[in-house]
Chains A and B, each alone.
Chain A
Amino acid sequence: MSIFGTVTVKNGKYRPRGDFHHITPNVPIRDRDNDWHLLGVTNPRDMTYIHSYGGEAIFFENLAKGKIHATRCDNPDCEFKGTVYLPFRIHCPDCLARNTVIDLTDICKKTAKVHTFMVCERSGAFNTLEKPIRFINVEFEGVSTILMSYLSVGEPKIGMRLIPIFRTLDPTYTITDLSWVPEGTPEEALPKGFTFG
C-alpha cells in the first residue's frame, strides 16, 4: 500500500520512509491532423523533494505558535548594525555576520500596513490558497524590508492597518501559515484553522 513520503533526521542524516515517487506509464502523443502519426510521448513525473529550511527553520516552526520572528544585525563592526530583516535573513547582507533572531510579533501587530497589493484570479499548478488570492506586501516600522503575504478577510488597500493571523490548527509549516486581516476583524471571521496566535 502506498503511503506519503515522510522524512526524519537521525545522526545528521535524512531517514526517508514511504513512497517518494509514483511510476505512471508513458503515453504516445499522436497527430490527429496527420493520420495519427507519432509526434512524441508523455513523461510523467511525480516526485517529492526533501528540503531544508536551515537557519530559517525557527521562523516556520514558530508561525504555528503565533509568533513572527525576524533577524537583526548586531555586529558592532557593521556599518549597518541594528538593521532588521523580515523576510528573515540568516546573515547580514552587508557584513555577512550571523544575524540575531528576534521576536517581532508585537511590532507586527502594532505597525503592519499594506505597502502594495494585487488580486490574483489565476494561479499556477500546486497552489493551495483559495482564489481570488489577495496578495499584500506588508511594511513594518523599523524593518528595512517588506514581507509578501496574503489577506484573508476584506479587500486590500494601500496603507490599510493589518493584524497577523496564524494557522495554528494543522499547520503546513510553510509561509502560507501566516496571513493577515484588517485591524478590528473579529475572531469568528477568521478562516478555519487560523487564530490571532
Chain B
Amino acid sequence: MIKFSDRQLKIPKLLRPVYLVTAGQSKFDRAMPNKRTEELAVDALTMAAKLIDKTPAELKSYIHTAYYGHFADHFGDQLLGEAVIHDRLGLDPLGNIGVKTGGATGGSTIWEAVKAVASGYSDCTLAMGWERMDEVPTDEGNHLISCAADKDWETPLGHIYTGYYAVMAQKYWQVFGKEEDSFRRTMAEISVKHHGYARFNPFAHAPMKITVDDVVNSPVVAYPLRALDCCLMSVGAACAIICDEATAMELTKNTKNKPLRVWVTAGSHTLRPACRRDMDIPLLPNETDDQYNDLGEKFPGGDRYPGFTGFLAARMAAYYGYRMTGIVDPMEDLDVIELHDAFTISDMQTYEDIGLRPYGYGRDFVESGDCYHTNPHTGKPGRLPSNLSGGLIGCMHAVGATGIMQVFEIATHLWNRWAEIHGDQKLWDEFGREKPADWTDLQVKDAHRALAISHAGVGSHVTTTILMDPDHLLKKDV
C-alpha cells in the first residue's frame, strides 16, 4: 500500500508568473542520414526565433540558461550530447543541464526551464529536446528502449518495450473493455485518427489514410498490440522559450505570439509495471469521495489500483496540475490537448488518469466523438480535440523532443497560428512532403487553455504541461 503525507500532496506554487513565448521544431522522420543532430537543433531554434520575428542571434541574446532533453545516450553513442548541442548553438559559457526521464524527457525539460524562471534564477530559458533513433537497426533500438525497464527482472524477457504495454492492454481489455470486440475497434480508431491528422501536419512522418480494419489486421507485435497500435521511432528536435513576464512582453512586442502562461507538474511510479503496490485512487477535482467504491463490482478485477489498468504518475501529475491552475473539469476548462499515445491502449488509459472520463469509461472519450477536431457523429466541433498533430502514432516519437513537440502544437492553437504554420506550402516543399489535396485546417477556434501529457515507459515519469491565455486564467495569481 502506498500512502501519501499531506506535505507530499502539497499543491506546487511558482514564485512568479512564467510564460511560453515561442517554440519551434525540425522535420521529423524515421531516419535523417543527411543531418547531424546539431543541425536539427538549429532548425528548431531558428523556427522559434522566426515565429517572433527575431533572428536566431537576437533570440539567443535573451537566453540565460539552457535545459536539454535527450533520453538515450546509447542510441547516438555520444555521452554528454548536451555539451555538443550547447556549443554548436553558440550558447557557451551559459549554464546548461541535461534532463532524462525516458519518454517524458521533453515534458521534464520544460518543467526544469519553468522552475528556473519561476525561482528568479533566469528571466529567459531555452528548453530543447532531441533524439536520433536511426543510428542502430530497429531490433537493436527496441533492445535499447527495453533497457528502460528493470535490467535484471524485465529487460531479459524479450528485450521489447511493447510487451510491457501489451500486458496492460490485455488486462484493460478484459477488465474495462469486458473483452468486447467493439472495445478493440475503439482502440484501433485512435490509430486511424492519429495517422489521419498527421496527414495535415508537414512535420509528421507517418501520415496515413487507414481504417479500423487496417489496424486490427496489421502484424502482431505483442498481442493484443499490433504494428498500427504502436508509436513511431523518430529523429528530430523541438524547443521552447520560457520567460518571466517582462521578458515575455519585450520578446513578443508587435509579433503574432501572445505570451502564454505555463505550468508543469510531475508524477512518477515504478518502471517495473509488475511491481505496483496498491493504493487508494487519488481523486481529481471533478471526482467524488465515493465515486470508485463499486469499481470492482462494475468491472471485476478493476479494484486493484493502479494495477495494470492505470498510470499513477499521470494521475498525480494531473492532481497537482489541476489544483495549481484552477482546473476543475478538464472537459469544460480545456480547449485542446496532446496526450502521449505511445500505444493506443496507453492513450485510452490516460483519458481516465487525467479525468476526461472516470476510471472504466475511457472508451467513451473516443466513441462520443469528443476527442475529434470535428465530431464525426454530429459534424460539430469536438468537445476536447486531442492529438491533432498526429501524436506519437502519426507525427513522431523522437523521445527527448516529443513532450516539447506537444507543447509547440497546443501553443499554435492558442496563438491562432495553427493553419499559418501547418498549411505553409513552403514548409511542405522544404521537407520534401506532398501537401494533400484535402488538407484541412485543424485550428481549434477560440482556444484559450490547453494541456500536454508527457509520459515515460509504463508510466515511470509523467508531466502535465498546462498553457493558458493570460486573459483566460481560471485562478488569479497562480
Contact = CB atoms under 8 A, between A and B. Distances in A.
Interface of A: 29, 31, 39-40, 43, 45, 51, 53, 56, 60, 79-80, 83, 85, 87, 89, 93, 115-129, 132-133, 135, 137, 144-150, 158, 174-176
B158 A87 contact: no
Contacts of A80: 1
B77 interface: yes
Interface in B215-265: 219-225
Nearest to A54: B152
B223 A125 contact: no
A148 B225 CA distance: 18
Contacts of B174: 116, 158
B171 interface: yes
B276 A127 contact: no
A128 B159 CA distance: 9
Size bin of chain B's contact surface: 35 or more
21 contacts: A31-B34, A56-B152, A87-B150, A87-B272, A89-B275, A116-B170, A120-B162, A120-B166, A121-B220, A123-B142, A123-B160, A124-B144, A126-B143, A126-B159, A127-B159, A128-B156, A133-B158, A135-B163, A147-B274, A176-B156, A176-B157
B274 A145 contact: yes
Contact of B158 (A53, A116, A127): A127
Given A144-B277, A145-B276, A147-B274, A119 B146 contact: no
A119 B219 CA distance: 13
A29 B164 CA distance: 34
Contacts of A29: 33
A120 B162 CA distance: 9
B146 to A, nearest CB: 5
A124 B140 contact: yes
Nearest to B147: A124
Nearest to B1: A80
Interface string B126-167: 000000000001011111111000111110111111111011
B312 to A, nearest CB: 14
Contacts of B308: 115-116, 137
Given A80-B1, A116-B171, A148-B273, 15 more contacts: A40-B33, A115-B171, A120-B166, A120-B221, A122-B142, A123-B158, A124-B158, A124-B161, A125-B140, A125-B142, A129-B157, A133-B158, A144-B278, A148-B164, A175-B154
A197 B273 CA distance: 27
A175 B222 contact: no
Interface of B: 1, 3, 33-34, 77, 137, 139-146, 150-154, 156-164, 166-171, 174, 219-225, 272-278, 301, 308
Nearest to B223: A119
A12 B160 CA distance: 35
Nearest to B140: A125
A77 B62 CA distance: 53
Contacts of B170: 116-118, 158
Nearest to B226: A121
A146 B276 contact: yes
B157 A53 contact: no
B275 A145 contact: yes
A127 B160 contact: yes
B156 A124 contact: no
Nearest to B220: A121
A149 B157 contact: yes
A175 B151 CA distance: 10
B349 to A, nearest CB: 13
